[in-house]
């Protein structure tokens, strides 16, 4: 495109990622929704890394809430159950407190959903404001089935991040926006770019109108 500075391109890329997130924020997930959290390693220089803790609660890890709108299907011949998935949402969160999850569920998911989670106390009160809550221990066969697409999204996102040299926690949401935007439009083919252009200029149309 003729740019001479890498930073110019990077800044433009992040502006597009912000637009992707705003576009997907216009929609709520409906029907049956899987909800889980993921831990993503932050970009940290070697000197800082040596002073940080390790493991699940590590300061090197950012926490991401993952939501997947899925549907249970039954094979018409053998009766085997499987799941199809439509849309995803992924949001960087500050902690695993119940109030944090409850706020996301209220704001991003339809209140009439069937919510599927593990048995964490984080979700102990969601029955107060959603239709049905299904809980299973995540390591069991049932738990893996209930959270199948949330876990698939987590795995694929972590794989996707490997193509970048480093991702800072401050910009992590932008990468989540891009990943979900493309995933939610995985069947658009060549129309994906055209739809992104429309999403990018729509705010200007609305403000000028």
Distances (CA, A) of 109 to 29, 179, 201: 5, 19, 27
Residue 178 clears pLDDT 80, i.e. is over it? yes
Q: Is residue 108 part of a domain?
A: yes
pLDDT at residue number 203:
62
pLDDT at residue number 184:
95
Q: Is residue 5 part of a domain?
A: no
Q: Is residue 173 part of a domain?
A: yes
pLDDT at residue number 43:
59
Distance CA 37, CA 121 (A): 13
Q: Is residue 195 part of a domain?
A: no
- pLDDT tens, residue by residue, 65-89: 999 999 988 766 777 788 899 999 9
Range of the domain at 41: 12-187
Count of CB atoms situated within 10 Å of the CB of 9? 12
pLDDT at residue number 17:
94
Mean pLDDT score of the chain: 86
pLDDT at residue number 45:
42
Residue 60 backbone dihedrals phi, psi, to 5 degrees? -80, -10
Q: Is residue 1 part of a domain?
A: no
Distance CA 203, CA 209 (A): 10
Q: Is residue 151 part of a domain?
A: yes
Q: Is residue 102 part of a domain?
A: yes
Q: How many structural domains are present in the chain?
A: 1
pLDDT at residue number 76:
66
| pTM reported for the whole predicted model | 0.84
Count of CB atoms situated within 10 Å of the CB of 159? 9
CATH classification at residue 16: 3.30.420.10
- pLDDT tens, residue by residue, 20-55: 999 999 999 999 999 999 999 875 444 444 444 555
Count of CB atoms situated within 10 Å of the CB of 186? 9
Q: Is residue 4 part of a domain?
A: no
More confident site: 58 or 152: 152
- pLDDT tens, residue by residue, 96-109: 999 999 999 999 99
Are the beta carbons of 114 and 105 closer than 8 angstroms? no
């Amino acid at each position: 495109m003729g740019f001479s500075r890498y930073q110019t391109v990077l800044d433009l890329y992040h502006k597009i990622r912000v637009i992707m997130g705003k576009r997907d924020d216009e929609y709520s997930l409906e029907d049956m929704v899987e909800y889980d959290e993921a831990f993503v390693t932050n970009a940290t220089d070697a000197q800082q890394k040596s002073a940080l803790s390790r493991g699940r609660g590590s300061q090197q890890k950012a926490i991401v809430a993952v939501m997947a709108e899925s549907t249970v299907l039954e094979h018409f011949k053998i009766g085997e159950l499987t799941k199809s998935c439509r849309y995803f949402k992924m949001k960087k969160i500050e902690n695993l407190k119940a109030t944090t999850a409850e706020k996301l569920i209220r704001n991003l998911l339809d209140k009439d959903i069937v919510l599927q989670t593990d048995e964490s106390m984080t979700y102990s009160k969601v029955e107060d404001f959603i239709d049905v809550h299904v809980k299973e221990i995540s390591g069991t066969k049932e738990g893996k089935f209930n959270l199948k697409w949330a876990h698939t999204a987590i795995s694929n996102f972590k794989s996707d991040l490997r193509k970048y040299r480093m991702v800072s926690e401050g910009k992590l949401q932008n990468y989540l926006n891009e990943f979900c935007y493309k995933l939610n439009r995985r069947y658009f083919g060549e129309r994906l770019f055209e739809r992104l252009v429309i999403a990018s200029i729509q705010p200007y149309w609305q403000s000028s109108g």
